[in-house]
Amino acid sequence: MSDGGVHRIVSLNAWGGRCWPALQGWITSERPDILCLQEVTRAPRKSPPWLRYVDPFRQLDQRSDLFADISACLPGHQPWFAGAARGPLTDVNGRQWRSEHGIACWVAPHLAVTERMQGFVHGRFRRDGWGPEPVPRAMQVMRVEDPATGQTLVVGHLHGLRDPDGKGDTPARGAQARRIRAMLDGLAGQGEGVVLAGDLNVLPGSETFDILAEAGLRDLVVENGITDTRTDLYEGAARHADYVLVNDRVSVAGFDVPARPLLSDHRPLILSVDTG
């Protein structure tokens, strides 16, 4: 956890916790002030610790309740889950268990979450199974205040649309970008810094960044010459997926996208913000 007026914000596509316990150890040690995770599972009822997700594109072993797992790593942090879909996962005996899939964030206890909102940037909650791509996508936005300094920061994150045909621009992704901007505009507006993070599932140069630039947001990944946000566990050719964008009111004290340890097939994005 950060000291003084520097806050550490971490964004990571957690891959359903497939790299547990490496993820468990890292989160417990790092204890970021604000943790934003994508691909988070939540168990509506007690389930075996590991379950399997299967669709036409992949088979993944996942933690059955990553939301509860991470919350246990960060006692005292304020947890918030946003589900996008609910469907069955299977245990080693083939028994099905209902699971929710979405995004989540955790905020350190010394910070005050004074406003928050969530909604969908694509679709609506899918309650009857996983279904075809693109699946619904939720977004979380919150205003966080540091009572020690009185400074506020608006932080949003999401998992962008996945398209089996690739990460190129599509009308759906354009509409998603406009919805992202609208959600940020719905909470920002007091002259504070704005941070947007997540697995956007787009390439550098996407119209998404043009739309978000109209709201004063710039991308730190390309700006810092980072050419890879994936890990060795990802075999695809496109190495960009994850981004952090900020406006000019954010005082960036540091930005890192470490390749190690292996926490997922995505790298964590670590932003240090000076709020002093």
Report the Cα–Cα distance between both ends of the chain, in Å, rounded: 16
Q: Is the pLDDT of residue 259 over 80?
A: yes
Nearby residues of 241 by Cβ (< 8 Å), 6 or more positions away: 13, 167, 199, 200, 201, 202, 229, 230, 266
At 3, the pLDDT band (50, 70, 90 cuts) reads: low
Rounded CA gap, 19 and 235, in Å? 16
Residue whose structure tokens are 């920061």:
153
Q: Is the pLDDT of residue 1 over 70?
A: no
Nearby residues of 87 by Cβ (< 8 Å), 6 or more positions away: 98, 99, 101, 126, 128, 129, 130, 131
Rounded CA gap, 61 and 161, in Å? 21
- Tokens standing for 199? 């697995």
Q: Is the pLDDT of residue 233 over 90?
A: yes
pLDDT digits 0-9 by tens, 166-212: 999 999 999 999 999 999 998 887 789 999 999 999 999 999 999 99
Q: Is the pLDDT of residue 96 over 90?
A: yes
**Concatenated DSSP letters of 179-221:** HHHHHHHHH--SS-EEEEEEE----TT-HHHHHHHTTT-EEHH
Rounded CA gap, 106 and 114, in Å? 14
At 4, the pLDDT band (50, 70, 90 cuts) reads: low
At 21, the pLDDT band (50, 70, 90 cuts) reads: very high
At 83, the pLDDT band (50, 70, 90 cuts) reads: very high
The residue ranges of every structural domain in the chain are 6-274
The pLDDT mean for the chain works out to 95
Rounded CA gap, 136 and 151, in Å? 34
**Cis preceding-peptide flag for 56 (omega within 30 of 0):** no
Return the axis-axis angle of helices 22-30 and 66-73, rounded to nearest 10°. Answer: 40
Q: Is the pLDDT of residue 2 over 70?
A: no
pLDDT of residue 131: 87
Contact call for residues 174 and 212 (beta carbons, < 8 A): no
Name the CATH code of domain 6-274 (choices 1.25.50.10, 3.40.190.80, 3.60.10.10, 3.30.450.20).
Answer: 3.60.10.10
Q: Which of 203, 205, 189 is nearest to 247 (CA)?
A: 189
At 147, the pLDDT band (50, 70, 90 cuts) reads: very high
Average pLDDT rounded to a whole number, residues 86-114:
96
Tell me how far CA of residue 133 lies from CA of 37, 162, 175, in angstroms: 21, 7, 16
